[in-house]
Structure 1
Amino acid sequence: MVGAFLSVLNQTLMSTALPAIMRAFSITTAQGQWLNNGYLLINALMIPTTAYLIKRYTTRQLYLTAAVIFMLGSLIGAVATQYPILIIGRMIQALGAGVVIPLVNVVVMTSTPPSQRGAAMGVVGLALNLAPVLGPTVAGAILEHLSWRYLFGLTLPLMLVDILLATKLLHNVGHLEHFRLDRIGLLLSGLGLTLALYSFSNVGEAAFLSLKGIVPLVAGLVLLSLFVHCQFKQTHPLLNLHVFDYRQFILPLIINMLLMVTMYGNSVIIPVLVQNVFHHSALVSGLTLLPGSVLTAIISPLSGRFYDKYNFRWMVITGLCIDMSGSLLLSSTGSQSSIWFVVLGQTIRQFGLVLVLIPIQTHAWCMLPAPMIPDGVAVYNTLRQVAASFGTALLVAIISVTASGQWHWSMNSQLVGIKLSYLSSTIMVGICVLLARQLRRAHA
């Protein structure tokens, strides 16, 4: 859990530093988003292989190797003098994090009795859901006095201590199986996701229907279609797509993907809003998310216990409605709005999210037969990361297109894009409410 917390924390540390890094390397917002998108993409490519890796190698072997790779990426990022090298460091970090995060989920789900899984996942959620909102606050405090390079250095000693503890305390879980990795599936999924994401990243710089935008998207979708076709033909597929036979797995998955679009997109939007529009410091940008972090720490373990005891469907619907009201509030932000208005809207959003994320995740995996849980975790986390990556590109593109367009706004053009982004998030959460009404405890 400590390793997973550091991995997720690292995803959002860079968000607050994005404006400073853009100035340091003289890059655009669309280029800068690859700090997050490159990380999320490699993370998403690694997660599908974890179903294979968890069955093929011991827990200790996997965790220690992944943690060392993560440390190597942090070191490269800390000393990078060119932007492409910085991106490479982030991607190497993602190679390690892409194994650690699903490994934690599989270990907890396979070693916990069904009646206690909600409570156990609530504790895991404390790490996985607290880190994304705590990251910008920590980063803001560091950037107030130090260079963005220290954000990479922060995780190095902490992960080293974790590795030393893991060599003595971590035990192996599960049984090993020996079968070949589906290399064709890995190649098709990797190329398909990369091309599709590249297409979305071009939205902010070129017309989406230009060759630069549409060709990679079409090619990526074709490769992903081939990937899906091949998975049903394989004896030992990279991802067991038969998890989609279970409707009560699909519903939480779609809800989670939509929420990831809004959650990770917001981690980029808040620093741009606070620093570039309201002209506050990186520290203030980070502190904007602090009340939400505190709520996450308090409520996350409780939300898992509520799943075990109460009607989780109404809890999910309530959380989504709270999240939607916060998004709608932020969409009304004006150029004269107080920073406390942003804090209020963000805190309301986070309160709603923390009521939803752990229950729907636990529900999705509990609805699968025990042998399919590792595959379900891999599919769920893969699409979660893909949604986060595409969502960040999409919401940043809205800001970039608005700022670079030929329209004449009566307010800051970036603020107009931010308002449109939050309005889009409100619509997505509204769709989640409709889907949540169909959640049931029994198998579909």
Structure 2
Amino acid sequence: MNENEQVSTQSKLAILATALLSFVGVLLETSMNVTFPELAKIFNVPLDTIQWITTGYLLLTTITMSTTAFLLKKFPIKKVFMSAALLFIIGDFLSMIAPNFAILLIGRLIQAGATGLSMPMMYQVIFITVPRRKTGTYVGIASMVISLAPALGPTYGGAMSSLLSWRFIFVAVLPIALVTFWIGIKNININPLGIKKHFDFLALALMSITFFSFVWAANRFGTKGASLISCIAPIIIGLITLGLFLRVNNHGVSQLISFSPMKIPAVSMDAITYMLLMFINIGISFVIPIYAESVLHVTPLTAGLILLPGSIVGGITSPISGMVYDRWGAFKPILTGMLVLTFATFLFSISSSWATPVKLTILFTLLRLGINMAFSNTISNAQANAPLKASADINSIFNMLQQYAGSLGTSILASILAIHQNQAHSAGEIVHQTMLGGHVDYTILFVIAVGITILAFINWHFQTRKGELSGNQE
């Protein structure tokens, strides 16, 4: 696209369609978290099984994302969009009418496949149709969808389940999905980049086993009575299948996804940052409602509302930080956001003795401000430091990593809470142990925030030295 071209109305509507589909998909990722105690009673299954409604969703979304680099090169984006929208509608309907836990989980997994297709597709539409001088703004808007929706999910889920029924979580988004489908088929008209290779099903199977093994290991560590062997064995299996996947993917007759962009230092550092930002975002959005309900004794609706102001502030921040990127380059908003994030996670790590719903709301708002100043600009910076032909692979890699980070974040932080709660022998002890587990979770997130802040400064120094700063930054 010529740098002087404007973004056409058709392109804006195509972006809108993929963004709306991504939004409702990501919204449903975390909207069920506040319903876990209710669903455990309704379907008569334990909480460590119910949590697969979210963990399984995140996991399958990640696996599906690993296929999008190939699909977006092989097929017209309209066909990929139609498939994703239809999958979402089918999954939503099944979840809405689910008579038992198995059907609900199947419906959720079908929707997860739709979300896994829609999110990378949204970025691909932007990078193909939007001139680079406006990329930061549009990627900021797209990232607002990804970062706003998971934090808004518990508020939405809590409101629906408290005021109506958990089934209305799915009822309310169905009209949006139908309208989105109509907008998309009318306005998406982008040809594939072209690829002659066949789909590598063996690589996909190996990657799926790898992802599942690590998440399963994290869950086993939090399961009461689990043996050490049952916790370590999935890690060993995951490491073996990861090695086999890399060999098959890189040396086979076909290729599921190309990791060649990761050889560019700026891209690899941005990828790690992007992944761990989502680990913090999804992880803390999972911990806060449980912590608030168990320790502060608030209702599910109030627990969800704690996240609402931060979600709104984060949503507003993303496009603004994208505009800053377009004007002054990536690292002014990225480094500022990282410092704010580090300060916020530090406050969370020392909040156990003085936490209240209002104070948690303020801290989460500060945290989301920091995350959203940096989040979208990391993928924009990565794209700016790689050739255009690598855009599909970068989209797939980044979205796959950030989604898997959400799955790992949920599993690891939930396991830490479960380990502490399993030590309790009375209701009073459960409150105390949940507080201790929450403190450990918050401390881990603070350490991660410090680590990626240091990495962002290293990336900034590297690109400054190499003269590779993106955007308009000198």
Give the TM-score normalised by structure 2.
Answer: 0.89
Structure 2 residue 333 is the aligned partner of structure 1 residue 315: yes
Residue 268 of structure 1 aligns to a residue in which SS? Answer: helix
Structure 2 residue 264 is the aligned partner of structure 1 residue 246: yes
Partner of 1:218: 236
Correspondence for 1:343 among 350, 361, 386 = 361
Residue 81 of structure 1 aligns to a residue in which SS? Answer: coil
Correspondence for 1:325 among 329, 334, 343 = 343
| Corresponding pairs, count | 444
1:160-239 alignment runs, 5 A limit: 160-206=178-224, 210-234=228-252, 236-239=254-257
Partner of 2:448: 428
Aligned-pair Cα RMSD in Å? 2.1
Correspondence for 1:151 among 144, 169, 174 = 169
**Which 10-residue stretch deviates more, 255-264 or 418-427?**
255-264
Partner of 2:60: 42
Residue identity over aligned pairs, in percent, reads 26
Structure 2 residue 64 is the aligned partner of structure 1 residue 72: no
2-side partners of 1:335 and 1:28: how far apart?
30
- Contact conserved, 2:96 with 2:170, CA < 8 A, in 1? yes
Post-superposition shift, 1:22? Answer: 3.0
Aligned-partner residue type, residue 414 of structure 1:
T
- Contact conserved, 2:285 with 2:307, CA < 8 A, in 1? no
2-side partners of 1:367 and 1:373: how far apart?
11
1:96-107 alignment runs, 5 A limit: 96-107=114-125
2-side partners of 1:131 and 1:178: how far apart?
36
Correspondence for 1:255 among 251, 267, 273 = 273
**Which 10-residue stretch deviates more, 167-176 or 429-438?**
167-176
Aligned-partner residue type, residue 431 of structure 1:
G
Aligned-partner residue type, residue 355 of structure 2:
S
Partner of 1:382: 400
Partner of 1:9: 27
Which 5+ residue runs of structure 2 have no aligned equivalent? 1-18, 470-474
Post-superposition shift, 1:311? Answer: 4.6
- Contact conserved, 2:330 with 2:381, CA < 8 A, in 1? no
Aligned-partner residue type, residue 130 of structure 2:
T
Partner of 2:439: 419
1-side partners of 2:305 and 2:237: how far apart?
42
**Which 10-residue stretch deviates more, 379-388 or 308-317?**
308-317
**Which 10-residue stretch deviates more, 126-135 or 66-75?**
126-135
2-side partners of 1:69 and 1:319: how far apart?
36
Partner of 1:273: 291
**Residues 151-192 of structure 1, C-alpha deviations (whole Å, 9 max, x = no match):** 122221210111122222222244443431011111111122
Residue 62 of structure 1 aligns to a residue in which SS? Answer: helix
2-side partners of 1:360 and 1:41: how far apart?
23
2-side partners of 1:136 and 1:205: how far apart?
24
**Which 10-residue stretch deviates more, 53-62 or 232-241?**
232-241
1:352-367 alignment runs, 5 A limit: 352-367=370-385
Partner of 1:399: 417
- Contact conserved, 1:29 with 1:396, CA < 8 A, in 2? no
Structure 2 residue 460 is the aligned partner of structure 1 residue 437: no
Post-superposition shift, 1:309? Answer: 1.8
Residue 278 of structure 2 aligns to a residue in which SS? Answer: helix
- Contact conserved, 1:16 with 1:140, CA < 8 A, in 2? yes
Residue 438 of structure 1 aligns to a residue in which SS? Answer: helix
- Contact conserved, 1:40 with 1:385, CA < 8 A, in 2? yes
Post-superposition shift, 1:419? Answer: 1.3
**Which 10-residue stretch deviates more, 420-429 or 337-346?**
337-346
2-side partners of 1:132 and 1:406: how far apart?
30
- Contact conserved, 1:13 with 1:136, CA < 8 A, in 2? yes
Structure 2 residue 80 is the aligned partner of structure 1 residue 62: yes
Aligned-partner residue type, residue 420 of structure 1:
V
Post-superposition shift, 1:113? Answer: 2.2
- Contact conserved, 1:10 with 1:155, CA < 8 A, in 2? no
1-side partners of 2:260 and 2:183: how far apart?
37
Aligned-partner residue type, residue 193 of structure 1:
F
Residue 228 of structure 1 aligns to a residue in which SS? Answer: helix
Partner of 2:69: 51
**Which 10-residue stretch deviates more, 85-94 or 334-343?**
334-343
- Contact conserved, 1:207 with 1:213, CA < 8 A, in 2? no
**Which 10-residue stretch deviates more, 73-82 or 20-29?**
20-29
2-side partners of 1:257 and 1:175: how far apart?
26
**Residues 59-109 of structure 1, C-alpha deviations (whole Å, 9 max, x = no match):** 111101111111111111112232232222111111111111101111111
Aligned-partner residue type, residue 432 of structure 1:
I
2-side partners of 1:94 and 1:129: how far apart?
17
**Residues 101-121 of structure 1, C-alpha deviations (whole Å, 9 max, x = no match):** 101111111222222211121
1-side partners of 2:237 and 2:78: how far apart?
38
Post-superposition shift, 1:209? Answer: 6.3
Partner of 2:132: 114
2-side partners of 1:420 and 1:351: how far apart?
23
Post-superposition shift, 1:358? Answer: 0.7
Post-superposition shift, 1:39? Answer: 0.4
Structure 2 residue 156 is the aligned partner of structure 1 residue 138: yes
Post-superposition shift, 1:439? Answer: 2.0
Partner of 1:20: 38
Partner of 2:11: none
- Contact conserved, 1:335 with 1:412, CA < 8 A, in 2? no
2-side partners of 1:352 and 1:207: how far apart?
39
2-side partners of 1:145 and 1:411: how far apart?
27
- Contact conserved, 2:21 with 2:177, CA < 8 A, in 1? yes
